[in-house]
């Protein structure tokens, strides 16, 4: 089963702090979005393994944009 981390605010991807294949826990920071000069953490929606990273640094995000796919 897959779960996707989606952007919860519009902004730019400041950084992705995981790599494909990493095991992550629910609530663990996966990425950071820069919103109006503030950095907003994007936590994992579930425990699992990072299957695919769909974004790169400085990509523009809208609310609901897919960022990372997890295998749960």
pLDDT on residue 42: 97
Number of domains in the chain: 1
Average pLDDT over residues 7-13: 95
Which residues of the chain form beta strands (DSSP E)? 2-6, 11-16, 23-24, 29-35, 38-43, 48-53, 60-61, 66-71
Mean pLDDT of the residues in the chain: 97
pLDDT on residue 13: 97
pLDDT on residue 50: 98
Q: What is the pLDDT of residues 35-64, one digit of tens each?
A: 999 999 999 999 999 999 999 999 999 999
Q: What are phi and psi of 71, to 5 degrees?
A: -95, 120
- CATH number, position 58: 2.40.50.100
Q: Which structural domain range is residue 41 located in?
A: 2-71
Q: What angle do CA 27, 1, 17 make, to 5 degrees?
A: 35
């Amino acid at each position: 089963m897959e779960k996707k981390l989606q952007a919860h605010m519009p902004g730019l991807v400041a950084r992705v702090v995981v790599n494909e294949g990493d095991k992550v826990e629910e609530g663990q920071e996966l990425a950071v979005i820069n919103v109006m000069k503030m950095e907003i953490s994007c936590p994992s929606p579930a425990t699992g393994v990072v299957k695919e990273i769909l974004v790169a640094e400085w990509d523009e995000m809208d609310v609901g944009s897919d960022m990372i796919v997890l295998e749960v």
